[in-house]
Amino acid sequence: MSETSPKLRAEMEGIPTYKPGKPAAAGGPVAYKLSSNENPYPPLPGVLETVTAAACNFNRYPDMACSGLMNELSERFGVPLSHLATGTGSVGVAQQLIQATSGPGDEVIYAWRSFEAYPIITQISGATSVQVPLTSGDVHDLDAMADAITDRTRLIFVCNPNNPTGTVVRRAELERFLDRVPGDVLVVLDEAYREFIRDPEVPDGVGLYRDRPNVCVLRTFSKAYGLAGLRVGFAIAYEPVAAALRKTAVPFGVSQLAQEAAIASLRAEDELLGRVGSLVCERTRVVDGLRAQGWTVPETQANFVWLRLGERTVPFAEVCEQAGVVIRPFPGEGVRVTVGETEANDIFLKVAEGFRKEL
């Protein structure tokens, strides 16, 4: 056998691996997965039927242009078709945005800690990550992010609400920030949790993009719409950006099942958003419960809560798991806990209470 191996790009060294939320342990008496910000509700019967029917044709390639879904989105958001692009989840679209804008020597700015896909997709393209620490309140430091812009900056992610802290940036500060960003730098508003926002001061990215050709809004069907397993997300942006997304898309990436499920979900929006409303009520109950126990919990507008536990992060995750809920630890920093089924949230609150007493 040859001593040499195929030459890979230098960037392949040291790419952080994406850590999927741990699955709930099989075989235990109860096991709930609160580690991936998934929607705990099972598929709506109508959506499931649509997908099942579409499955009869999976010997065929999907509609590569996602025409049905694009038309539906265009109408729903009041944006031209030329401003839309779909992808394999919004992570897929985010990766295409980096591919289209940034290569070796270019810089991508984002808050840290934020969504763990950002450093991975940045490094894959050979660009350099510029991580701007969150404020002491775990919020994006937009002034520091604007200060970090150089002539190498190509793209800036603003994750609103931020994963994993759940915190938001509001209209005035976001508009001030956008006014400071040069027009040739793309700002990506990652709004994966948009439907969970109840703070009226958090602007809708789709409103902000309209008179800003350097803003791109990312949305997904994975969270509020409960289609995480089907991989479909989309972007809204002006034509050069949206066109670049259509060019960089993996051909036939979004399956027909995903396309039909997304259309059916948009049509069943009332019911799905009703479920989101219930999860938001649960979120309030969880946050209030934690605060009553004495925890400091940042204001969350997403379907998860963040506890900054520092060195106690891993032990906390372990006791949660023993009690039947799997959460997402970021060792040395804190835990992100998805708002899930009522029973799961109850277990989590109980564990948090016991842990708090031991501190």
Ligand X SMILES: *Cc1c(COP(=O)(O)O)cnc(C)c1O
Return residues touching ligand X (CB under 6 A): 37, 89-91, 115, 159, 163, 190, 192, 220, 222-223, 228, 233
Of 123 and 222, CB closest to ligand X:
222
CB of 347 to ligand X, least distance (A): 23
Nearest to 233 by CA among 188, 168, 284: 188
Q: What residues contact residue 247 under an 8 Å CB cut-off, 6+ apart?
A: 100
CB of 69 to ligand X, least distance (A): 14
Largest Cα separation within the chain, whole Å, is: 65
Residue 258: CB atoms within 10 Å? 25
CB-based burial label for 353 (10 Å; 0-12, 13-18, 19+): middle
Of 153 and 222, CB closest to ligand X:
222
Q: Which residues pair with 132 in a beta bridge?
A: 111
Give the residue at shortest CB distance from ligand X: 89
- Quote the CA–CA distance of 312 and 260 in Å, as a whole number: 44
- Please say whether the beta carbons of 341 and 32 come within 8 A: yes
CB of 60 to ligand X, least distance (A): 24
Of 140 and 351, CB closest to ligand X:
140
List phi, psi (to 5°) of 99: -55, -40
Residue 235: CB atoms within 10 Å? 24
Q: What residues contact residue 181 under an 8 Å CB cut-off, 6+ apart?
A: 146, 149, 156, 187, 214
CB of 86 to ligand X, least distance (A): 11
Of 208 and 228, CB closest to ligand X:
228
Q: Which residues pair with 336 in a beta bridge?
A: 306, 328
Of 90 and 265, CB closest to ligand X:
90
CB of 119 to ligand X, least distance (A): 13
CB of 159 to ligand X, least distance (A): 5
CB of 115 to ligand X, least distance (A): 4
Of 163 and 355, CB closest to ligand X:
163
Q: Which residue has the tokens 């109408």?
A: 75
- Quote the CA–CA distance of 349 and 328 in Å, as a whole number: 15
CB of 189 to ligand X, least distance (A): 11
Cis upstream peptide for 161 (omega within 30°): yes
Of 50 and 222, CB closest to ligand X:
222
List phi, psi (to 5°) of 235: -125, 150
Of 37 and 345, CB closest to ligand X:
37
CB-based burial label for 116 (10 Å; 0-12, 13-18, 19+): middle
